[in-house]
Amino acid sequence: MVPISHVIGLSALLFSIGVAGVATRRNLIVVLMSIELMLNAVNLAFVGFNRMWAGVDPTHRFDGQVFVLIVIAVAAAEVAVGLGIVISMFRNRDSVNLEDVSLLKW
Amino acid sequence: MLRWIVLLPLLAAAYHAIAIGLVRRASDRRLVVAVSCGSVVGTFVLACVALGRLVQIPRGPSRVLVDDVYTWIGAGVSTTRFSAEVGFQLDPLSMVMLLVVSFVGSLIHLYSVGYMDDDHREDKGFQRFFCYLNLFMFSMLVLILADNVVLMFLGWEGVGLCSYLLIGFWYADRHNAFCGAKAFVVNRIGDFAFLVGIFLLFATLARAGTPVTGFRDIQGAFAGIREATVSVPTWLPWGPRWPVVEVVALCFFLGACGKSAQIPLYVWLPDAMAGPTPVSALIHAATMVTAGVYMVCRLSFLYAAAPAASAVVAWTGGLTALFAATIAIAQTDIKKVLAYSTVSQLGNMFLAAGCGGYGAAIFHLGTHAFFKALLFLGAGAVILAMHHEQDVRRMGGLRRRIKSTHWVFLLGVLAIIGCPGFSGFFSKDEILAWATLAPGGPWLYWIGLGTAGLTAFYMVRLYCLTFLGECRAPASVREHIHEVGPWMLAPLWVLAFFAVFSGYAGLPAVWGEELFGMDDSDSLGRFLAPVLARVAGPQLEHADEMRMAAAAVAVAGAGALLAWLLYVRRPELPAKIASAFAGAHRLLLHKYWIDEIYDALVVRPLVALSDRVLFRVVDAGLVDGVLVEGTARGVRALAANGLKYAQSGLAQSYVFFMIAGAAALVGYLLR
């Protein structure tokens, strides 16, 4: 059996890659992909912990998995909205670069 | 049971308040009368039941009924414990007050039904009036029945509030509203001293290891603070040290000066006559203004241990009595004369209390409540008969037109001037007997005697100008002079009965023995004795007492005769005398210009200070300018010069701040 520390380590690694992507990449589509990566890192942690606790507390056997389903649903909605914004932005400004959208400032 | 005595009027007041304040529709007048008068009469019935229970208990310090309701304020433990209970006690002293207040209060409620009936200045006025009146009864009963000094202060403030509300009852007239505010503000000065007295007393008791607020507890712990001293002013630690007992007694007395209209705080009471006449009778003659006397008697153990403060009480009382009586002889407003007379009579009570005659003070308080309420209600009947005319110069000859009112008013006048056999005769004699003990020699006795003569003069003058001679009213009024209805006449006759006969409750020993051959005649004094401080009374032979009584009657008779000669036999003479002594007459007519002096010395400087310094500098400059606007200006400057650059519009810089924040939080949690 895979020990929990491996699962959490992988999850943390994926999450850090996602954070780094969001913080550094200028391309809006890549930023969205990085966000997706972070969400799935969290999903991985959920299923890992669910597997670990399911035998201990049978009444909460599926809690982690239910959370994963909810996160997937939210992620799908978020991607739909996010891509919609990207398309709209490309039509208006001919660019998907984050630095080109900084009107809302002092 | 005691709690119901207090609660009944409060429930009635709450009902009225809900009807006119929340529902916003005045109840039917019959319902208002039933609720209001019913609650107060119920209070009186309960008071009688309580009297029945109280006399079952054998005489002595344990003759007291107690009703502890709940702890109102409680803080700290053991020697730093402060607690104020909502607790009521009924001992003989509060019993006498309770009976007087609930009985006179009931009668005046009934009278008010008739008096307020034709008042249609405002839709809800009738119910609002009874709401305030019930609230007043509640506050007064709390004041009387409170078993600790903090709860007493609650009642003390409550009656002040109701007094304010009722003086300014017809608030559409600015003058009435001004008079109400004046009464309230002047009372605040006294209340402040009262509060300081409470704090100082409690602090001293707590320092002695007995932090108590109840009257009986204070009396029990009193030996522990008798020797204590305090430096005044307290922020000056090396200042002269005074006995705490004296300072506390003086503070409480200044409070009493405010509530009971003594020099220097008497100025509000004459102006309080702006209120409806039943209010003047109930609050500003019979009950509230006697609260100061009651408080001094309630704390008689304190005053008996404070000779200097007691001397101040006696002299203030005596001088106020004389001073107010001299003003009363020149007034022409029927209610103003009675108001100054009230100030004067209250001064007499303090004179007795300051000399140690606490029983005599309470005795006079009771008889005065009856005859002064009678006189005020009689004056109210006259005022209604004359269509709201209050100036005695436009009255006269009412004897034949309103016979019933005339007779009860005459009985009241005879009672107050001390006509032998009437209640005022006995109570005033007892006060004069105690006055011989006054500190500083026999002066106060002579002052008291002079006051008695002046009292007879101005009361008979008032009676003659109102009821005797020719009617001086304009013809249009003269044709419509009418007797008031039975709602108002019945209470008058009941009060007249008590104005005549209530003196026999406290019949001094000399008269009990001489007239009726009784061995123990002073039943009121014996009833009160266990709760009042024992002070050696005047040691007078019966022959001396007789001589003093004869002197008092002679002086009063002379005053009365003089007034009759001046205002009935030779009505042209007073005007001549007034013009001959124009200066003195104007001095009295303008009440020694005390209001003007206070205005110049206190009111105007205070208003100027408030306007120029407190408002323009402190409020507008410091609070508004520096604190409020300064804060806003500072925030704006900070944001404009630095903070705004944080909002760059670059999404990724926000992400960076977020990550940095989250990292800092995690780092803090994992430290």
Nearest chain A alpha carbon to B652: A23
Highest mean pLDDT among B110-119, B464-473, B602-611: B602-611
Asked if B645 and A106 come within 8 Å (Cβ–Cβ), the reply is: yes
Is residue B473 predicted with pLDDT exceeding 90? no
Q: Which of B320, B321, B341, B319 is closest to B330 using CA atoms?
A: B341
Question: Hunting for tokens 């208006």 — which residue is that?
Answer: A92
Please indicate, yes or no, whether residues B572 and B629 belong to a single structural domain of this protein: no
Q: Are B460 and B574 in contact (CB under 8 A)?
A: no
Separation CA B139–CA B155 (nearest Å): 5
Q: What's residue B42's pLDDT?
A: 95
Asked whether residue B143 is domain-assigned, the answer is no
CB contact under 8 A, A22 and B655: yes
Q: How many whole angstroms separate alpha carbon B592 and alpha carbon B327?
A: 8
Please tell me which residue of chain A has the smallest CA distance to B653. Answer: A23
Enclosing H/E stretch for B68? strand B65-75
Mark whether B509 and B422 lie in a shared domain: yes
B398 DSSP assignment: T
Residues B347 and B471 in one domain: yes
Query: Nearest residue on chain B to A16, judged by CA atoms?
Result: B659
Judgement on whether residues B540 and B599 belong to the same structural domain of the protein: no
Q: Which amino acid is at A88?
A: S
pLDDT for B590: 86
In this model, does residue B522 exceed pLDDT 80?
A: no
Q: Is the pLDDT of residue B668 over 80?
A: yes
* CB spacing of A98 vs B651 below 8 angstroms: yes
Query: Across the interface, do B647 and A22 touch by the CB < 8 Å criterion?
Result: no
Nearest CA in chain B to A104: B649
Q: Is residue B268 predicted with pLDDT exceeding 90?
A: yes
Residues B515 and B655 in one domain: no
Residue B173 identity: D
- Most confidently predicted of B75-89, B96-110, B390-404: B96-110
User: Does residue B216 surpass a pLDDT of 80?
Assistant: yes
Q: Is the pLDDT of residue A106 over 80?
A: no
The shares of helix, strand and coil residues in chain B, as percent rounded to the nearest 5, are: 75, 5, 20
> Which residues on neighbouring strands pair with residue B70, listed in sequence order?
B86
Question: Which residue out of B652, B653, B654, B655 would a mutagenesis test of the A interface target, given it has the greatest number of A Cβ atoms within 10 Å?
Answer: B652
Among residues B201, B229, B227, which one has the least CA distance to residue B213? B201
What lies within 8 Å, CB to CB, of B433 at 6+ separation is B357, B360, B508, B537, B538, B540, B545, B548
| Type of residue numbered B196 | V
pLDDT beyond 80 at B510: no
pLDDT score of A80 more than 80: yes
> Choosing among B654, B655, B656, which should be mutated to test the A contact, i.e. which has the most A CBs within 10 A?
B655
Q: What is the pLDDT of residue B123?
A: 72
Nearest C-alpha of chain A: how many angstroms from B654? 9
A-chain residues within 8 Å CB-CB of B655? 22-23
pLDDT value of position B514: 72
Band of residue A90 on the pLDDT scale cut at 50, 70, 90: very high
Looking at this predicted complex, what is its ipTM?
0.85
Structural domain of residue B503, as residue ranges?
330-581
Give yes or no for residue A52 having a pLDDT over 90. no
* Whole-Å CA distances, B386 to B91, B334, B433, B625: 44, 12, 41, 57
Residue B656 has its nearest CB partner, among A23, A98, A105, at: A23
Segment B409-438, tens digit of pLDDT: 999 999 999 888 899 999 998 899 888 887
Pick A99's closest partner by Cβ from B644, B645, B650. Answer: B650
**Cα Rg of chain A, angstroms:** 18
Angle, in degrees to the nearest 10, between helices B125-145 and B92-117: 170
Average pLDDT for residues B460-474, to the nearest whole number? 88
The pair of structure tokens assigned to B560 is 């009365």
Q: For residue B459, what pLDDT band results from cuts at 50, 70 and 90?
A: very high
Examine residue B226 and state whether it is found in any structural domain, yes or no. Answer: no
Which residues in chain B are closer than 8 Å to A104, comparing Cβ atoms?
Answer: 649
Task: Look at residue B594 and tell me whether its pLDDT is greater than 70.
Answer: yes
Above 70 in pLDDT, residue B634?
A: yes
Q: How far is CA B155 from the centre of its chain?
A: 11
A106 and B644 in contact by Cβ < 8 A?
yes
Q: Using a CB-CB distance cutoff of 8 angstroms, which residues of chain B are in contact with residue A19?
A: 659
Looking at the structure, tell me whether residues B482 and B363 fall in a common domain.
yes
Structure tokens at B127: 């119910």
Average pLDDT across chain B, whole number:
90
Length of chain A measured in residues? 106
User: DSSP letter at B241?
Assistant: E
Helix-, strand-, coil-residue percentages of chain A, each rounded to 5: 80, 0, 20
Q: Are B457 and B557 in contact (CB under 8 A)?
A: no
Give the confidence band of B609 by pLDDT, cuts at 50, 70, 90.
Answer: very high
Look at residue B234 in the predicted model and tell me its pLDDT.
67
Name the pairing type of β-strands B229-231 and B82-90: unpaired
Which residue matches tokens 């004046």? B182
Q: Do B644 and A19 make contact, defined as CB atoms within 8 angstroms?
A: no
Per residue in B329-338, pLDDT (tens digit) is 888 899 999 9
Averaged pLDDT, B352-372: 93
Structural tokens at position B236 = 């000056």
Partners of A16 on chain B (C-beta within 8 Å) are: none
In which residue are the tokens 């559409």 written?
B172
- Per-residue confidence band for A105, with pLDDT thresholds at 50, 70 and 90: confident
CB B568 within 8 A of CB B464: yes
What distance in Å separates the CA atoms of residue A31 and residue B604, rounded to the nearest whole number? Answer: 75
- Contact residues, chain B, for A105 at CB < 8 Å: 647-650
Residue B623 lies in a domain: yes
Q: What is the DSSP letter of B27?
A: P
d(C-alpha B399, C-alpha B122), whole Å: 33
Q: Residue B531: pLDDT above 80?
A: yes
Using the predicted structure, report yes or no on whether residue B509 has a pLDDT greater than 80: no
- Do B650 and A98 count as a contact with CB atoms less than 8 A apart? yes
Give Cβ neighbours of residue B477 (< 8 Å, ≥ 6 apart): B386, B387, B389, B394
What is the count of structural domains for chain B? Answer: 2
Q: Do B334 and B389 form a contact (C-beta atoms < 8 A)?
A: no
Residue B644's pLDDT band, with cuts at 50, 70 and 90, is: confident
Right CATH for A4-98 from 3.40.50.800, 1.10.287.3510, 3.40.50.12160, 1.20.210.10? 1.10.287.3510
pLDDT of residue B669: 95
pTM across the whole model: 0.81
Max distance between CA atoms of chain A, in angstroms, equals 55
Which residues of A lie closer than 8 Å to B, measured between beta carbons?
19, 22-24, 26, 98-99, 101-106
Arithmetic mean of pLDDT, B206-220: 90
* Nearest-by-CA chain A residue for B648: A105
Distance (Å, whole) CA A37 – CA B145:
78
Q: Please determine, for residue B577, whether its predicted confidence score (pLDDT) is greater than 90.
A: no
**Do B507 and B633 sit in the same domain of this protein?**
no
The Cα B114–Cα B413 span in angstroms is 23
Q: How far apart are CA B304 and CA B313, in angstroms?
A: 12
Distance CA B131, CA B20 (A): 9
Which of A55-59, B324-328, B588-592 holds the top average pLDDT?
A: B324-328
pLDDT per position as a tens digit, B123-170: 788 899 999 999 999 999 999 999 999 999 999 999 999 999 999 998
Do residues B637 and B553 share a domain?
A: no
Higher-confidence position of B265 and B118: B265
Co-location of B496 and B623 in the same domain: no
Q: Give the chain A residue whose CA is nearest to the CA of B658.
A: A23
Q: Are residues B519 and B380 in the same domain?
A: yes
Task: Please give the Cα distance from B374 to B581 (Å, whole number).
Answer: 34
In this structure, the answer to whether residues B622 and B499 fall within a common structural domain is no
Rounded to whole angstroms, the Cα distance separating B343 from B335 reads: 12
- Asked if B278 and B105 touch (Cβ cutoff 8 Å), the reply is no
- Domain identity same for B566 and B610: no
Q: Which secondary structure element, helix H or strand E, spans residue B608, and what is its range?
A: helix B604-608
Q: Do B648 and A19 touch (CB under 8 A)?
A: no
Higher pLDDT among residues A86 and B80, named by residue: A86
Q: What is the 3-state secondary structure (H, E, C) of B76-114?
A: CCHHHCEEEEEEEEECHHHHHHHHHHHHHHHHHHHHHHH
Terminal Cα distance for chain B, rounded: 65
Q: Which residue of A has its CA nearest to B657?
A: A23
Contact B649 A103 (CB under 8 A): yes
Measured CA to CA, the distance from residue A50 to residue A60 in angstroms comes to 9
Residue numbers in B near A99 (CB within 8 A): 650
Res B24 pLDDT > 70? yes
CA–CA distance, B467 with B402 (Å, rounded to integer): 9
